[in-house]
């Protein structure tokens, strides 16, 4: 019976693993090539990733450190999501030039807008360096010492490779530290905004539709990568020229049909597919609900003020998007894990792992892992809860977080070199201008009152910062905080910086906002981080061994490593889905759905007059589907996560079908537990992107650059 249980569990998990699950290392894709071609792919693994000739990898970039983008012309033209470019669109926006509301289109390259701080990174090569990194390292070494040896080996390896290349060299762990790969990256720092639709196209549906299907969001923006005259990376200079890529993507107008093979090529950020059941349960049913509650209360405050004032709406647009994205996702994770029995499935698999361990004396090192996991996660929980309150309540009070920028300045003495002080002043003046550009004190005051009440009501005294334990009345404390702190007044802050001397550091130390910030940081450094790090140190060793054990238990299975912000390929089929009884969604949406959702009283559902005119006249040009409608978005059973935003979704020939921008709410649990029946990624149809650029915006100069396949 035990053998039967083991076989059934392995069969169940293995079957799930080959139905769209997995984030595959590009350089090892030859192991997946046969399966991908059987599913319909007509190109080769070498066409996707090669170091000997140009390949699709040469058109994919890590955009801004948190998203993916793709090159779609021989002149460095780049597509990514609207929400990926949102911060830079917002930075260029003002009441006079409201690109968030009105959109922006450069009709020639002289109109393209520089984006200081924005970078794109190309992967040039990957190498398996596991043997070199783990030289003289084994599982019997104490974890801290093991990591020290690994860090030393990596440092030496990177130094040796850097002598032979101009690329940036990194080494990343895979399979929870069981394997290591070296990455050669090239970073470009002159990236310019070329175009973006109005937010009621690029963010149509707003937070209400976020993580939800059916979706009607034209989530795209357009940038361009520039290089020096030799084609190499260079900081912004008017003399720079458009980057000429080794490869750019062809764009298909054929559309995505149900059952078509499709794959996503991008930079997924983080998944934890191999966690034990206890960890998944803690994430979904303890940590995420706390973060959802706290962020939800802040978003309610933002909504109230943003609806009343256009300037405030612009100021808090990016902040709202940042908080709202996680807020809604985490609700979906909890719902999905519980509704589709994710924890129970994990425990079923773990029982098979236990049975496997009992079959051989050589497997004894793995036998007690699951029991130990239960104990360690129980120890970890109060610290994780405390950290969740700190980051989602305390540090979301803007005045306190802003004060934190001045913490280092508050520590200077007359012995501090003047050059060092001058550098701090310059940096702080820049931070001050950026902060007050998007700051509205009434919002911050209300957030402070709400978050401090939550903190005091739900966290015990020994699991919260010390300054909170001195508060007798929250309203009185908040009144005093905003009346006495200089960090609510831009003029006072700049005057202080202009006249700063080391003797004035004491004045900073007495500012109530900085006192609160220091209390929070000290609480983290002294009370939260040390025990949490010690527990996580033990868990790292245990999870590495558990991963190794799983791979030994199923030697014939192809395992894909968790996402770690490195380039990956994921693949599946264009598919609709049935999340629950009575709901059966087709795989695409159309412009008709935008008209059905129109509500002129809600900004996120306003339909632009020009878009309505194009719909009424059915003026879709060559971008209409063969059914005559204008397709907007589509779903597929391709495993994606954060970081995949902006990733290209490609067809069987490696041509661009659309831009991945979201997942279905019912399947957001896929970071922890993947279910092929309900986990779907959502992409904006590339034909809708081209339709908006061409027919809506009239930016035919951009269309002319692209390699479009009819």
CA distance 248 to 266: 14
Q: Which of 98, 207, 209, 219 is catalytic?
A: 219
Report the DSSP beta bridge partners of residue 252.
709
Where in 434-564 does DSSP place strands (E)?
none
As a 3-state breakdown, the chain gives helix, strand, coil percent values, each rounded to 5, of: 50, 15, 30
83 included as an active-site residue: yes
243 DSSP assignment: -
Neighbours of 359 (CB within 10 A): 12
CA distance 80 to 267: 12
Residue 430, burial from CB neighbour count under 10 angstroms (0-12, 13-18, 19+): exposed
Are residues 188 and 83 in contact, defined by beta-carbon separation less than 8 angstroms? no
C-alpha distances in Å from residue 53, one per residue of 62, 70, 126, 367: 21, 18, 14, 47
Report the DSSP beta bridge partners of residue 80.
221
Instruction: Identify the three-state secondary structure at position 162.
Output: helix
Q: Which of 50, 252, 485, 645 is catalytic?
A: 645
For residue 487 the two structure tokens come to: 């960090």
Closest CA to 260 of 578, 41, 32, 17: 41
CA distance 296 to 316: 15
For residue 301 the two structure tokens come to: 């405050």
For residue 447 the two structure tokens come to: 């957030």
339 included as an active-site residue: no
Helix residue ranges, H only, 393-473? 398-404, 418-437, 441-458
Instruction: Identify the three-state secondary structure at position 214.
Output: coil
CA distance 191 to 197: 18
Q: Which of 50, 82, 83, 216 is catalytic?
A: 83
C-alpha distances in Å from residue 249, one per residue of 44, 65, 399, 651, 685: 16, 21, 45, 11, 15
Residue 704, burial from CB neighbour count under 10 angstroms (0-12, 13-18, 19+): exposed
82 included as an active-site residue: no
Residues annotated as catalytic (active site), given as ranges: 83, 219, 645
């Amino acid at each position: 019976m035990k053998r039967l249980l083991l076989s059934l569990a392995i069969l169940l998990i293995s079957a799930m693993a080959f139905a769209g699950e997995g984030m595959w290392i590009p350089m090892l894709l030859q192991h997946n090539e046969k399966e991908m071609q059987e599913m319909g792919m007509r190109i080769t693994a070498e066409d996707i990733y090669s170091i000997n000739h140009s390949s699709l990898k040469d058109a994919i970039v890590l955009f801004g450190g948190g998203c993916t983008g793709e090159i779609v012309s021989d002149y460095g033209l780049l597509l990514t999501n609207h929400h990926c470019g949102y911060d830079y669109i917002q930075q260029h926006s003002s009441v006079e030039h409201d690109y968030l509301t009105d959109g922006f289109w450069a009709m020639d390259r002289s109109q393209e807008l520089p984006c200081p701080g924005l970078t794109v990174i190309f992967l040039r090569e990957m190498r398996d360096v596991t043997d070199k990194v783990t030289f003289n390292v084994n599982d019997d070494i104490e974890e801290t010492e093991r990591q020290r040896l690994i860090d030393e080996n990596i440092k030496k390896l990177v130094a040796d490779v850097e002598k032979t290349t101009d690329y940036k060299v990194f080494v990343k762990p895979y399979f929870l530290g069981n394997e290591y790969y070296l990455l050669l990256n090239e970073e470009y720092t002159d990236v310019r905004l070329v175009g973006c639709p109005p937010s009621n196209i690029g963010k149509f549906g707003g937070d209400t539709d976020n993580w939800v299907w059916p979706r009607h969001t034209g989530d795209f923006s357009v940038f361009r990568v520039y290089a020096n005259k030799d084609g190499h990376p260079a900081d912004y200079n008017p003399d720079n020229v458009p980057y000429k890529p080794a490869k750019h993507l062809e764009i298909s107008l054929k559309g995505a049909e149900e059952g078509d093979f499709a794959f996503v090529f991008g930079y997924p950020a983080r998944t934890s597919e191999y966690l034990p059941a206890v960890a998944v349960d803690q994430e979904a049913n303890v940590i995420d609900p706390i973060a959802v509650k706290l962020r939800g209360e802040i978003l309610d405050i933002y909504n109230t003020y943003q609806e009343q004032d256009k300037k405030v709406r612009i100021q808090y647009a990016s902040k709202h998007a940042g908080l709202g994205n996680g807020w809604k996702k985490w609700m979906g994770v909890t719902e999905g894990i519980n509704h589709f029995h994710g924890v129970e499935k994990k425990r079923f698999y773990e029982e098979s792992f236990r049975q496997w361990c009992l079959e051989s004396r050589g497997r004894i090192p793995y036998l007690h892992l699951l029991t130990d996991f239960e104990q360690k996660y129980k120890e970890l929980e109060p610290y994780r809860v405390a950290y969740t309150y700190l980051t989602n309540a305390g540090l979301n009070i803007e005045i306190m977080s802003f004060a934190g920028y001045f913490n280092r300045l508050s520590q200077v003495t007359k012995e501090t070199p003047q050059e060092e002080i001058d550098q701090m002043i310059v940096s702080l003046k820049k931070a001050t201008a950026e902060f007050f550009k998007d700051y509205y004190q009434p919002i911050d005051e209300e957030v402070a009152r709400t978050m401090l009440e939550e903190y005091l009501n739900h966290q015990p005294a020994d699991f919260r910062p010390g300054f909170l334990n001195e508060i007798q009345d929250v309203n009185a404390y908040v009144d005093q905080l905003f009346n006495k702190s200089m960090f609510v007044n831009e003029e006072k802050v700049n005057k202080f910086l202009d006249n700063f001397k080391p003797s004035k550091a004491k004045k900073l130390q007495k500012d109530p906002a900085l006192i609160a910030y220091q209390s929070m940081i000290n609480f983290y450094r002294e009370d939260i981080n040390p025990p949490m790090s010690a527990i996580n140190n033990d868990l790292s060793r245990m999870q590495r061994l558990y991963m190794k054990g799983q791979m030994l238990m199923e030697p014939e299975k192809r395992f894909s490593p968790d996402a770690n912000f490195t380039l990956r390929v994921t693949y599946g089929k264009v598919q609709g889905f049935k999340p629950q009884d009575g709901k059966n969604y087709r795989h695409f949406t159309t412009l008709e759905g935008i008209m059905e959702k129109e509500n002129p009283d809600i900004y996120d559902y306003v339909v632009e007059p020009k878009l309505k005119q194009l719909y009424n006249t059915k003026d879709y040009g060559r971008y209409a589907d063969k059914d005559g409608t204008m397709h907007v978005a589509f779903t597929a059973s391709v495993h994606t996560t954060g970081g995949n935003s902006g990733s290209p979704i490609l067809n069987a020939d490696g041509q661009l079908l659309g831009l991945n921008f979201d997942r279905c709410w019912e399947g957001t649990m896929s970071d922890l537990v993947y279910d092929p029946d309900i986990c779907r990624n959502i992409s904006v149809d590339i034909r809708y992107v081209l339709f908006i650029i061409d027919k809506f915006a009239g930016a035919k100069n951009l269309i002319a650059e692209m390699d479009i396949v009819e």
